Amino acid sequence: MKDKPRRSSPRGTAPRIFVTPAFESPGKLLHDAHLRLSAGFGRALREAGHQLPIDAWAVLNLLWEQDNLPQFEIAARIGRDRHQTSRLIDSLDQAGLVSRRSVPEDRRIKRVVLTSRGRAARSTLGRLATRYLEDTFTGVSQRDYDGFIRCLQHIVGGPKPNNEPKETP
């Protein structure tokens, strides 16, 4: 038997939410989707001849958007501790995609910079990621996909799409 839905939210409108069986739980579904997307994309990378840890993808994506970041900032922005981040950057360095540079003012700080190979990998790996995601989301309408992304952004507190209409009070 399902519990009664929450009638209101302290922040305004909220969907009607019921306690659900595990196979319908948002947390469980997000977890399973993350595992499946990570494993599937990792397999696609390997099949295309790229021997990158799947978690290194977050580092590359970040550097493609903003190169030359301090290692500690990369760790904070991808949600990993400094040791995990260091190992991911090591794997990217060994693959020739990034290099570390000391900061003259403070030698303890290492900046991570894309190499020419790392910059060039953006188009190849980007096409691979796009193809993988298109295959994964086959059968999902653009409207549903956009709503899914907005929902995930809401959950993680990320930015809202620029084309979304502004709410009026």
Q: Where are the domains of the chain?
A: 52-153
Beta bridge partners of 101: 111
Sheet holding 69-70, edge to edge: 69-70, 106-114, 98-103
| Whether the predicted model's global pTM rises above the 0.95 cut | no
Kindly state the helix (H) or strand (E) to which residue 37 belongs, with its residue range. Answer: helix 26-47
CATH top-level class for 52-153? mainly alpha
Give the separation between CA 119 and CA 169, rounded to whole angstroms.
44
The pLDDT tens digits along the chain (169 residues) read: 455 544 445 556 777 777 767 777 888 899 999 999 999 999 999 999 988 888 899 999 999 999 999 999 999 999 999 999 999 999 999 999 999 999 888 888 999 999 999 999 999 999 999 999 999 999 999 999 999 999 998 888 855 555 555 544 4
Give the separation between CA 98 and CA 101, rounded to whole angstroms.
10
Residue 86 makes CB contacts below 8 A (sequence gap 6+) with 71
Pairing of strands 98-103, 69-70: unpaired
Residue 18 makes CB contacts below 8 A (sequence gap 6+) with 2, 3, 5
Strand, helix or coil for residue 15: coil
> For residue 117, what are the CA distances in angstroms to 7, 45, 158?
54, 16, 30
